[in-house]
Amino acid sequence: DTAVSQTPKYLVTQMGNDKSIKCEQNLGHDTMYWYKQDSKKFLKIMFSYNNKELIINETVPNRFSPKSPDKAHLNLHINSLELGDSAVYFCASSQENRGVGPLHFGNGTRLTVT
Amino acid sequence: GEDVEQSLFLSVREGDSSVINCTYTDSSSTYLYWYKQEPGAGLQLLTYIFSNMDMKQDQRLTVLLNKKDKHLSLRIADTQTGDSAIYFCAERAPRGGFKTIFGAGTRLFVKA
């Protein structure tokens, strides 16, 4: 029973293409996130949704568009992929409405743009 | 991240204790976390401490918090080769809507 699952695990694509990464959590959490981890392992938050509502939107190019159809899902769509988008993208979730909860992470999607 | 700093590397021998240090800048931080990342995997929560505590122990793990110096440490007793991983310190503070800010991670190498 994977708590936070994201697909695909690996994604190799060419510059200019559009791609999506999907994330689902079965923990009943009310908040979901997308983080980007670069080649030096530095983690930076991109977006956060609480009960399907966008609450954190960092300085991310508008080629990146998150979509949350319901509390358990947060997908990430990327248009016109660039070489610099190559990274590992992590989905995470937490329970916030009863106090601040720790993040639970998926296993990541390694995106390689050629 | 600029708000949370950690040394990048630590090498220890199997059976020794490991101490990983972290400093943070936001004195209003309410929660401080340690996460572990193994190769090809996501981050796994190891332990966390509330800002009103100064120590927490959980089996081989001991977390020490010095709020005055904004210093957090993770001690792993009897370090094993399976403990080799990247350890991330993270803080949450009211600013920015309780965003979790991560350090750059400390790479722990355990020699047999």
Each residue of A37-74: pLDDT tens digit?
Answer: 999 999 999 999 888 888 888 878 999 999 999 999 99
Inform me whether the C-beta atom of residue B104 falls under 8 Å from chain A C-beta atoms.
yes
Q: Which residue has the higher pLDDT, B7 or B97?
A: B7
CB nearest to B98's CB, from A40, A100, A106: A100
* Residues 18 through 37 of chain B touching chain A, CB cutoff 8 Å: 30-31, 33, 35, 37
Q: SS in 3 state form for A54-104? A: EEEECCCCCCEEEEEEECCEEEEEECCCCHHHCEEEEEEEECCECECCCCE
Chain A contact probe: residue of B3, B100, B106 with most A CBs at under 10 A: B100
User: Is residue B20 pLDDT above 50, yes or no?
Assistant: yes
User: Is residue B2 pLDDT above 60, yes or no?
Assistant: no
CA B55, distance to chain mean position in Å, is: 13
CB contact under 8 A, A41 and B40: no
Distance from CA of B13 to the nearest CA of A (A): 24
